């Protein structure tokens, strides 16, 4: 079924059918003609090609989401929450979400500038990962800005370009978490981090060191790289405790490592939080089901997703930066050092 056939059956021109389909305001199509065309469309079960229709109007009503993750994105808690916020806003505004994802090689297989050249999107939300390089970020920012294309960047950007950016302050989050442990009386606090190539690692280390320097006179840094790996977190935790028996708290810089740290402590015959307190960065749905439930930093990924979608739809507005506040969710893995347990 084509537009020509609908026009012939309704006894009108193709232009009239197009005006009715797109509900063009101010057109001279009478109500009786519009009614007749709609009846024919329904009778013939005519479904115009949505993409072609949108392109003809110079608008696709589609926003892209670019995620160069190695693992399946919908097994990732942070992405699920973020996408939920994005979809809620786009659905209310009649927009579709188009996902571009695959691997760390996505940037080579489907370059961002190539996606934009296809003219199938009205905007693009780019989710930087912990391994996104500064060169990659700066390159796509330059390319998209020169094209005057509307885009929003999520996470891990610390440059000065005038762009729409949304994230959190990782260094501040680490500082506040470690400060909380110090305020509970802990002095020897260990830090488990991801690999040095992860952009977030240096920020977490700086926050950890900053809290230790501000709160304590005799600063002792105990930092181990567990590479966001459960088994390595388990091994590093036990190694730290054996080498530093005075350690009474851990700050874990990645949710993948938290269960390994917890089990490592327990398998040495120690108790959490009686002997060792643990805080995890970041919180997810698993933390409350561990034994004990872990105190963790909660990032408002759903709200970040909503704000990203709102910015992606605002094509003419000034560029904005939003740094969301996080919440330290206190659970059963932290206690005051020396607390008497019955």
- pLDDT, one tens digit per residue, over 254-264 is 999 999 999 99
- Region 3-48: CATH code: 1.10.260.40
pLDDT value for 24: 65
In the structure, what pLDDT confidence band is assigned to residue 50 with cuts at 50, 70 and 90?
Answer: low
The residue among 237, 240, 231, 294 whose CA lies nearest residue 261 is 237
The residue among 197, 184, 169 whose CA lies nearest residue 281 is 169
The mean-pLDDT minimum among 174-188, 290-304, 328-342 falls in 328-342
Pick 196 or 283 by higher pLDDT.
283
Pick 49 or 194 by higher pLDDT.
194
Tell me how far apart the alpha carbons of residues 2 and 192 are, in angstroms, rounded to a whole number. Answer: 62
DSSP string, 307-328: HHHHHHH-SSSPP-EEEE--EE
CATH architecture assigned to 62-168+301-325: 3-Layer(aba) Sandwich (3.40)
96 pLDDT above the threshold of 60: yes
In the chain, CATH 1.10.260.40 covers 3-48
300 pLDDT above the threshold of 60: yes
pLDDT value for 113: 83
Alpha helices in 133-270 (DSSP H): 134-146, 170-183, 199-215, 230-243, 258-266
Tell me how far apart the alpha carbons of residues 129 and 156 are, in angstroms, rounded to a whole number. Answer: 7
In the structure, what pLDDT confidence band is assigned to residue 157 with cuts at 50, 70 and 90?
Answer: very high
7 pLDDT above the threshold of 60: yes
In the structure, what pLDDT confidence band is assigned to residue 338 with cuts at 50, 70 and 90?
Answer: confident
Q: At 235, phi and psi to the nearest 5? A: -65, -45
What is the SS3 assignment for 158? coil
pLDDT value for 115: 85
Length of the chain: 342
Residue 69: HSE in the Cβ half-sphere, 13 Å Cα cutoff: 18
Pick 5 or 23 by higher pLDDT.
5
Average pLDDT over residues 145-171: 95
Q: Is 187 exposed, middle or buried (0-12, 13-18, 19+ CB in 10 A)?
A: middle
What is the SS3 assignment for 296? strand
Contact 144, 116 (CB under 8 A): yes
Average pLDDT over residues 210-220: 81
DSSP 257: G
- Region 170-300: CATH code: 3.40.50.2300
What is the SS3 assignment for 123? strand
In the chain, CATH 3.40.50.2300 covers 62-168+301-325, 170-300
């Amino acid at each position: 079924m084509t537009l020509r056939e609908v026009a012939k059956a309704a006894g009108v021109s193709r232009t009239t059918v197009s005006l009715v389909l797109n509900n063009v305001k101010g057109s001279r199509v009478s109500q009786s003609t519009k009614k007749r065309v709609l009846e024919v469309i329904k009778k013939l079960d005519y479904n115009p090609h949505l993409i072609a229709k949108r392109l003809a109007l110079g608008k696709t009503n589609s926003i892209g989401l670019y995620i160069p993750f190695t693992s399946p994105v919908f097994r990732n808690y942070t992405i699920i929450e973020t996408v939920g916020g994005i979809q809620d806003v786009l659905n209310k505004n009649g927009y579709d979400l188009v996902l571009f994802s695959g691997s760390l090689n996505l940037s080579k297989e489907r370059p961002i500038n190539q996606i934009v050249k296809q003219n199938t999107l009205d905007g693009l939300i780019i989710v930087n990962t912990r391994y996104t390089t500064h060169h990659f970020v700066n390159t796509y920012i330059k390319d998209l800005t020169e094209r005057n294309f509307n885009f929003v960047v999520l996470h891990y950007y610390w440059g000065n370009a005038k762009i729409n950016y949304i994230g959190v302050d990782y260094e501040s989050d680490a500082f506040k978490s470690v400060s909380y442990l110090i305020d509970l009386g802990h002095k020897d606090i260990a830090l488990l981090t991801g690999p040095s190539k992860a952009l977030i690692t240096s920020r977490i280390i700086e926050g950890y060191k900053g809290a230790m320097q501000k709160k304590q006179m005799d600063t002792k840094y105990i930092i181990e790289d567990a590479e966001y790996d459960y088994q390595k977190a388990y091994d590093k935790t036990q190694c730290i405790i054996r080498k530093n028996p005075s350690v009474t708290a851990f700050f874990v810089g990645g949710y993948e490592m938290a269960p390994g740290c917890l089990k490592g402590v327990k398998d040495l015959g120690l108790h959490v939080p009686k002997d060792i307190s643990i805080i995890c960065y970041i919180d997810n749905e698993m933390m409350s089901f561990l034994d004990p439930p872990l105190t963790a930093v909660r990032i408002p990924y759903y709200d970040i997703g909503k704000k990203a979608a709102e910015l992606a739809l605002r094509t003419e507005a000034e560029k904005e930066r939003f740094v969301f506040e996080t919440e330290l969710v206190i659970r059963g893995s932290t206690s005051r050092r020396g607390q008497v347990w019955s």
